[in-house]
Homo-oligomer: A and B are copies of this chain.
Amino acid sequence: MNERVAKEQLIDYFSNRIDLSESEKERIATAYSLIKLDKKKYLFEQGKRCVTEGFVVGGTLRVYYIDQKGLEHVLYFALKDWWVGDIASFFSGEPSALNAQALEDSWVLVIDPESKDNLFKEVPAIERMFRIISQKHLTVLQKRFLLTVSANAAERFQELIQRSPGIEQLVPQHQIASYLGILPESLSRMKKQMNKNQL
């Protein structure tokens, strides 16, 4: 993975959503920097200010929250072409509520708050696009929330593997369980039960 290819991937992502001139593309490319995040390394951590918003070029990250009881809750897995960040921390400077950790060696294009704000001012179309991206993220999170409160663990599991085929091979099972909001033991039992039923 090299910087030029990575940035082309990001420009493609943008170009599929809005019209950009060559100079705007150039401007965007300079605003982001490519970093390699080794397996188990963190992009940002709970309690500290999150000054990086990232676009995943390759690899996988898990974004999770540790509650008062010390339990981990996976909010989402960030795959290729996903955004990772803690918006509240990124823009308003409050401590991050989230951790973002690489599940495998990963490549991420990152930007800091000031650079992003400057980019917005110089390329208004980008700000418009991020307004739309925020709305999209909101609807995704809303669906996740509604599914969490209305479906049981087995139904949520079905939805996950249907929406992200191959996720089971990519992510350890205890982290799938954490995403589903159950314990690894419960997921293990659940899968056994599901196999029994389909026979």
Contact = CB atoms under 8 A, between A and B. Distances in A.
Interface of A: 65, 67-69, 71, 73, 75, 87-88, 91, 97, 120, 124, 127-128, 130-132, 134-135, 137-139, 141-146, 148-151, 181
B144 A145 contact: yes
Chain A contact residues: helix, strand, loop or mixed: helix
B150 A75 contact: no
A186 to B, nearest CB: 14
Contact of A141 (B65, B132, B145, B181): B145
A97 B139 CA distance: 10
Nearest to A72: B150
Nearest to A94: B139
A149 B141 CA distance: 13
A148 B147 CA distance: 12
A73 B88 CA distance: 26
B134 A65 contact: no
B75 A142 contact: yes
A138 B65 contact: no
A75 B146 contact: yes
Q: Which 8 A-B pairs have the closest CB atoms?
A: A67-B150, A131-B131, A134-B134, A88-B139, A87-B135, A149-B181, A73-B149, A138-B138
Contacts of A130: 131
Contacts of A73: 146, 149-150
A159 to B, nearest CB: 12
Nearest to A134: B134
A132 B177 CA distance: 33
A32 B182 CA distance: 45
A119 to B, nearest CB: 13
A75 B145 contact: yes
